Amino acid sequence: MRRRLDLGGTDIAMAALQRGEIDLYPEYTGTALLDVLKAQPRGDAVQTFDFVKSEYERLYNLTWLDPAPMNNTQALATTRELSAHFGLRTLSDVAKKAPQLRLGAVPELPSAPTVCRTANASTAASIQDDQPVDNGLKYKALLDGDVDIVVASAPTARSWPTTWS
C-alpha cells in the first residue's frame, strides 16, 4: 500500500476515491453526513454512522469500515476575560453578543457546513467581523486579542474548556 498525504479536503478525497485514484481515506461521520450527503443530523452516533454507511453503499457503492476511536467535536472558544466581559457561557450567549464579536474563522469556515452547523450556524453566521485566521494560528490570535472567538476542536464538548487563558 502506498500512502498519499495532504490530498486536500473531503471534496477532493471523495472525488479521487470515486475515480479510483485512491483506495480509501479517513473521514468523519459528521462530515460525510452534512457535507457529502447533505443530510440532517441524526439521533446518536450509532444511528448517524449506520445511516452514512448505508447511504454511501446505496449512492456511491462505497463501503464504510468500522469506525476509528476518533472524535472531532467542534466548539467555539474564547478567553476567560472575554467570557466574563461579554457574559459568554453558552452558544445562546454568543448569539446574543455576536454583532460585537470578532470571529477568528479558519479559511474553510465559509464553505464548511459541518463547522457552522455543529458550532451553531446562526451564531457563526451572525458574528459581524470575521477575520481569516490560519488554523495553526487561531489560538495565538485569540490570546493576542486579534479575535474574540475561534472555532475550536475538542475531544468532547463537556471535557474540554471553552475558555482559554
Q: What is the DSSP string of 73-135?
A: EEEEEEEHHHHHHHT-SSHHHHHHHGGG-EEEE-TTGGG-HHHHHHT-HHHHHH-SEEEE--G
Quickly state the pLDDT bin for 2 (edges 50, 70, 90). confident
Cα distances (angstroms) measured from residue 9 to each of 1, 26, 78, 85: 21, 11, 26, 36
Is the pTM value of this prediction over 0.85?
Answer: no
Domains and CATH numbers, the chain: 10-60 (no CATH), 73-164 (3.40.190.120)
Please name every residue paired with 78 in a beta bridge, in sequence order, or none if there are none. 163
Give the separation between CA 2 and CA 22, rounded to whole angstroms: 9
- In this structure, of 1-10, 28-37, 56-65, 139-148, the range with the lowest mean pLDDT score is 1-10
- In this structure, of 3-17, 22-36, 98-112, 135-149, the range with the lowest mean pLDDT score is 98-112
Q: What is the pLDDT of residues 100-152, one digit of tens each?
A: 888 887 665 543 344 444 444 455 555 655 677 777 788 899 999 999 988 88
